Structure 1
């Protein structure tokens, strides 16, 4: 760091670059965009930076270290009153980024847990899991994904597996009704759909996540069904039938 200890001291652009660790090209760019211009010029036209220029450069570097863009830095230096708003916005972005990193860590931990639990991890299973993660990104908000994860944690592995088993049993019981054309107002199918909805409610914990899950299925039934023992056509028909039963009730 250059010590600014005298009003008469001047620095060439090369001296400034060497002392601050910046490149001459960067200092030229700062000059071109009006962020930092040399306060003086020699008779030959060479830049000479003053103590005031150095103080401005240190402020630029400090704000750059906080992640502000050059445009935001110029605004902050021109209008110091804007500094609080800029820093508030930057903090919100950093908080969102930190939350995203934490979420990714949880996803990767979960993925690694499944891989470690398998005696011989199947690359196809890995790709299916990654596809599922991508679908969740596209159809659920970060807050919804967080609630779903929290709900699974509350239930615990045994309860989650038991709910999945109940759902599989319900699929197997409902598919024959779909194939045979059982009327949607039949009390038998009404009771099965009630149980279906109860299982879903245990996982979703909210109407908005339930709607998002149905939207995800509607747009990705083919991909989702690949990991299940039924065809996409069977499951698409089943979901449509379940919706008809709900409407009939």
Structure 2
């Protein structure tokens, strides 16, 4: 936080990035596409975010967790004012999502208490009880609904194990190629980069159904990455920060296309 001659706070891009859990690159991307621009710049040219900018960022992040694309968010924000009613609507939707999450936690907690109660009475729970609990844990740990998980599993079965393994190999190769372009800061309208992004999206589309169901599972996959990138990244052979930058870079390529 820096000077506030008019009584209003200002934040640097680094401070906003740290507070929001975003990268500076992602914030600059938001600026490039007109989704969130710092209202002020100091003499050196550095961005300074105002209180209004921070409120807008909160709305962007909240709408993103609800599954909206950046294009959809831009449309929503263009049609609504930065006022109490608009903020109330966003917070209400976010609260409903958290309440649903809390219900799942409560159900899982109740189930685990039951298993512990049986063990304390020297009785081993039967396999079906463990299976039911595992299913509940799975729902708790992912943003996919059970129906969406079933759709994804069915699609993988349709593709077959050989095609899935081939897709994994192709994806790893795409990651390596794209990371080189991220490091080199290749312009997002470069034909080579656009071709790689097209291959990336086509590869991902193989694992999703067509139509609205597929769009919903894609949105859930994006939310899963955004909300759990640290944990997911730990299971990948590339540094988490590099993968985050790659995802932002791909979004910039799509916007430029």
Name the TM tier (shorter chain): 0.3 to 0.5
**TM-score, normalised via structure 1 length:** 0.46
